[in-house]
Structure 1
Amino acid sequence: MIEIWNKLYTWLEQHVPHLADELNEGAGVQSFKKLEDAIGKSLPEDFKAFYSIHDGQALDEDTGSAEGLIDGDILLPLEEVFVQWTAWKTLLEEGQFDQMVSTPDKGIKNAWWNPLWIPFTHDDNGNHICLDLDPDDSGAVGQVIMTWHDATERVLVASSFSEFIAEYVEGLENGLYVYSEEWSGIINKEEAEDF
């Protein structure tokens, strides 16, 4: 993960140096333990290796937000991962999703939300990129999925966190993403051009 972070640093320093300055220090053992104890399952080692270098982005004290680092999404610090996960779990336990029907990709269990989906990004609109620690029989534990608060799709993004982050950084290096002040973060170049 050091190599991935080094590539990401290089891109940020060339294109958006202020975002590099807004990364948190690495997460410690207790931060991982708090989240793992809550979800009742170990986090994937590749995810932990990534977060041990930088624990997501520093969030604005007033708004609780930040500019998008991951295709328009905020890379959440573990404390906020816990907050978002807890909010979704509470809604699930209250029965808020009992009548909701999703349309998941192959490899993803059919649910509106699953307590073993761990949101590690946020777009400030209730949508997340998540670790899926409870796939269906054709999926892989630790695969990366996209969920929406108001749309039925549950999309398989990558078979692991390592694959997800490596592909994203490669996309940055290949010019598929740009920084947009209007969109408040790094977004897909085609979306920026359409805006």
Structure 2
Amino acid sequence: MTDEQTTGAVEVRTRAAFDRVVRLVPGDPLLNPAATDAQLDAAEAHLGQSLPADVRAVFRLADGQVQYHHDDPRWAAGLIGGEPLLPLASVLLHWDQWAGFDSETGFDEFASSTPEGFVRPKYSVRGWVPLTHDGGGNHVGVDLDPDVDGTVGQVITFGRDDEQHHVLAPSLLSYLEQLADLLEQGYGVPGDDEEPWSLRVPPRTSPHSLFRAQG
């Protein structure tokens, strides 16, 4: 199979998974219009690194979701980690805000990875590209510079309060497929005007435990 055929197959699977999540997520996803290839190429030039085919495919379906703002106080039903997918411009804005932290080794002391060896035990890495923002400096994103056992494009947690970086899935496509399966199985708990929707888990259990980091 050629690279073009492989990319085409990834795009087909990504669209199918994305459409399932949009259909099943509890609430209105408030999708933005699709990003253009020119916008994606410009984003990659800004990042200085290529985005995986499944990430490009998602943004070609929607340039993120409407972000909560006091002038537009709607809360989109988040497609990534329960948080809305950032528009490309916001992805780059948050990525820029992490510039320089990768060289501050004093922040690395308590950094770890779950599973061990998948994510670099660093406070910040320039290969971590945010896809969401929780309003407090924490993200779910894709890892373009994994540790020895990780996979380029794996979906991870990182941010100001995130010392133990969790791998949620080996790719964004895998994350969407797993999330769609969970929603079909009834794990989605609707939110309200004050709180977004969430995944149903046992007490004192993290939603991260519902996802597979491999396979």
* TM-score in terms of structure 1 length: 0.84
Query: In the alignment, what sits opposite 2:83?
Result: 73
Whether contact under 8 Å (2:112, 2:120) holds in the other structure is: no
Query: In the alignment, what sits opposite 2:131?
Result: 120
State the identity as a percent.
Answer: 26
C-alpha spacing 1:177/1:87, structure 2 compared with 1 (3 Å): same
The Cα of 1:60 is off from its aligned counterpart by 3.9
Deviations 1:149-176 (A, max 9, x none): 1241111111111111111121111111
Question: Structure 2 residue aligned with 1:11, among 9, 24, 29?
Answer: 24
C-alpha spacing 1:190/1:137, structure 2 compared with 1 (3 Å): closer
C-alpha spacing 1:183/1:98, structure 2 compared with 1 (3 Å): farther
The Cα of 1:63 is off from its aligned counterpart by 6.5
1:41 matched to 2:52? The reply is no
C-alpha spacing 1:168/1:10, structure 2 compared with 1 (3 Å): same
User: Structure 1: how far apart are the matches of 2:162 and 2:151?
Assistant: 23
Whether contact under 8 Å (1:100, 1:112) holds in the other structure is: yes
The Cα of 1:68 is off from its aligned counterpart by 4.8
User: Structure 2: how far apart are the matches of 1:64 and 1:148?
Assistant: 26
The Cα of 1:64 is off from its aligned counterpart by 8.5
User: Structure 1: how far apart are the matches of 2:71 and 2:142?
Assistant: 25
Gaps of 5+ in 1: none
1:152 matched to 2:163? The reply is yes
Alignment map for 1:13-162 (pairs within 5 Å):
15-16=26-27, 19-20=28-29, 22-62=30-70, 66-69=75-78, 70-89=80-99, 91-92=100-101, 97-101=104-108, 102-105=111-114, 106-162=117-173
C-alpha spacing 1:88/1:7, structure 2 compared with 1 (3 Å): same
SS at match of 1:109: coil
Q: CA RMSD in A?
A: 2.4
The Cα of 1:61 is off from its aligned counterpart by 4.9
Gaps of 5+ in 2: 1-13, 206-215
User: Structure 2: how far apart are the matches of 1:81 and 1:116?
Assistant: 13
**Which AA in structure 1 matches 2:16?**
E
* TM-score in terms of structure 2 length: 0.77
**Which AA in structure 2 matches 1:8?**
V
User: Structure 1: how far apart are the matches of 2:97 and 2:31?
Assistant: 24
Deviations 1:103-130 (A, max 9, x none): 1232111210101100001111211111
User: Structure 1: how far apart are the matches of 2:189 and 2:169?
Assistant: 21
User: Structure 2: how far apart are the matches of 1:137 and 1:77?
Assistant: 30
Question: Structure 2 residue aligned with 1:163, among 154, 157, 174?
Answer: 174
User: Structure 2: how far apart are the matches of 1:115 and 1:63?
Assistant: 32
The Cα of 1:79 is off from its aligned counterpart by 1.0
